[in-house]
Structure 1
Amino acid sequence: MSVPARRRACPHPARGHRADTDRTGRAAQRTGRLLCWSLAAGMAGAATETLLHPETGWWPLLWPLPWYLTPASALTWGILRLREKAAQRQPDDNDDLPTGEWEQAA
């Protein structure tokens, strides 16, 4: 019988170093989900408009809203993703040694 392994608090070595990176990552993930759902809602609204031709007064105001939300969420997701990648590429505090000292230490 196998014993279940303990779950580590930080399963990925790059995670947990910077709280700001985690916050940016979560925001990028949520914005990406918003982007996907706005695209799905826009396509569903376009299909409804094409197939059913709703004649209610609020429909012409409602069905284009996801298409307005899509570029805004795509731009926001792109910016957040760039910030997340830039934060992950920042050197650690140990990388500030000059080249000469690094060679001596090695």
Structure 2
Amino acid sequence: MQSRTFILQARIEIEELETWCAEGWLLPRATEAGREFSDIDLARAHFIRDLLNLGVNREGVPIVLDLVDQIHGLRRVTRDLMDTVKALQQERGAK
């Protein structure tokens, strides 16, 4: 989605969007038409807004975002590992 749609759906001001992108909190894809935001970017913007509304200061937001990213990464690795174990078990059972 384009910036204008993103701002409306995220319920933020253009200045916030610019700041969050400059800080690296949001990483939209660059296209010829401008920035393109994904549904994941939108969910992240809602999360950032919620953190700020809960009183997390601007220095704390990137720390929380990094921790959440690590958790998602670990979940992905765990899921891949479980799929590999399951495939090996099925392979051994077929022999």
TM-score band by shorter chain is 0.3 to 0.5
TM-score between both structures, scaled by the size of structure 2: 0.40
Q: RCO higher in 1 or 2 (8 Å CA, sep ≥ 6)?
A: 1
Larger radius of gyration: 1
Higher strand share: 2
